[in-house]
Amino acid sequence: MNLKKILIGSQSGGIFLALILMCVLISSLTPRFLTDTNLLVILNQVSVNAILAFGVTFVIISGGIDLSLGSMLAVAGVVAALFAKSDGGNVYMALLMALGVGALMGAMNGFTVILSKVPPFIVTLGTMTIARGAALIISSGRPVSDLSESFNYLGNGDLLGVPIPIIFLVGTYLVCHFVLTQTVFGRYVTAIGGNETAAWVAGIPVAKVKWWVYTLSGIFAALGGILLSARINTGQPNAGLGFELDAIAAVIIGGTSTRGGKGSMTGTLLGVLFIGVINNGLDLLNVSAYWQQVVMGGIIILAVVLDSVYQKMKR
């Protein structure tokens, strides 16, 4: 894909431009930004948010929302840690159980949304609280530590010099991008977000597709939880507080419509990187953590406003 096509032809043109400008701005302010190590650090830092964001992109494109990401991440992270203890733990078992728990919670979200017709905002808000409680119950409110070496490797190891979380980031991006643009499922998800009634009348199994969308969101949250627990080498019941908002912000910055029916994984990836670059830049510039939040919020709003202006100009 050439540069012109990215800038003009795709929905993600605006955010791509914003990301480049942000990188230019920060690297002009500090020489420590544009280095190989720092760029790897950024990618590594955003990997968990990226994985959550990819999962929730499906949900948002289908016209829904998932606020329970952060809590599902915590439950899965704790479950993974419990099965990956250094004494007698098994990494494969840990992965399987954590992903299974994530899928189960996502599936419950899906069932409730489909059967009750209650807006997904409310359903997943409830799940957010329930799952947080569950994480605290399972771990008795304490961090689960003493995890096995091989589990730790998932968060801190590398393969041919590339950190494992970055491999997961790239892998999930490629899979999600493929599923969204090249498969029947991706087409159905987009159709449902575009006009759910028309999609149903056209013979799309709307309930089944929506159920899968929430289940996938749970599985991706669990994957994020596994990587986070592996990186900090503990299962934290309080992990992932507010992560859902970062993920949703990245999706929206990436140009996915909050009303559904339109969006892309590339946009989400760029949104995640945009947030990551700003966080990293503010760190490098020694901006205080309190001010970072203020600046971050302002920049997110600005980015979305500029993008909508840019999209209008293109017409």
Site of interaction with another protein (CB under 8 A): 182-185, 187-188, 190-191, 194-195, 197-205, 261-262, 315
How many residues does the structure list for the chain?
A: 315
Beta-carbon neighbour count of residue 256 at 10 Å?
28
User: With respect to another protein, which residue has the nearer C-beta, 37 or 197?
Assistant: 197
Quote the DSSP letter at residue 261: S
CA-based nearest residue to 240, from 252, 222, 256, 253: 222
**CA 50 to the chain's CA centroid:** 4
Q: Is the dihedral of CA 32, 33, 34, 40 positive or negative?
A: positive
Q: How far is the CB of 195 from another protein (least distance, A)?
A: 5
User: With respect to another protein, which residue has the nearer C-beta, 14 or 163?
Assistant: 14
Quote the DSSP letter at residue 225: H
Q: How far is the CB of 205 from another protein (least distance, A)?
A: 6
Q: How far is the CB of 179 from another protein (least distance, A)?
A: 9
Q: How far is the CB of 158 from another protein (least distance, A)?
A: 32
Paired tokens of 107: 């599936």
Q: How far is the CB of 312 from another protein (least distance, A)?
A: 12
Which residues touch 136 (CB under 8 Å, ≥6 apart)? 237
User: With respect to another protein, which residue has the nearer C-beta, 126 or 194?
Assistant: 194
User: With respect to another protein, which residue has the nearer C-beta, 244 or 307?
Assistant: 307
Q: How far is the CB of 212 from another protein (least distance, A)?
A: 12
User: With respect to another protein, which residue has the nearer C-beta, 142 or 208?
Assistant: 208
CA-based nearest residue to 106, from 211, 254, 31: 211
User: With respect to another protein, which residue has the nearer C-beta, 11 or 127?
Assistant: 11
Query: In the block, which residue shows the tokens 């100009």?
Result: 313
Radius of gyration over alpha carbons of the chain, in Å? 19
* CA–CA–CA angle 136, 139, 142 (5° rounding): 85
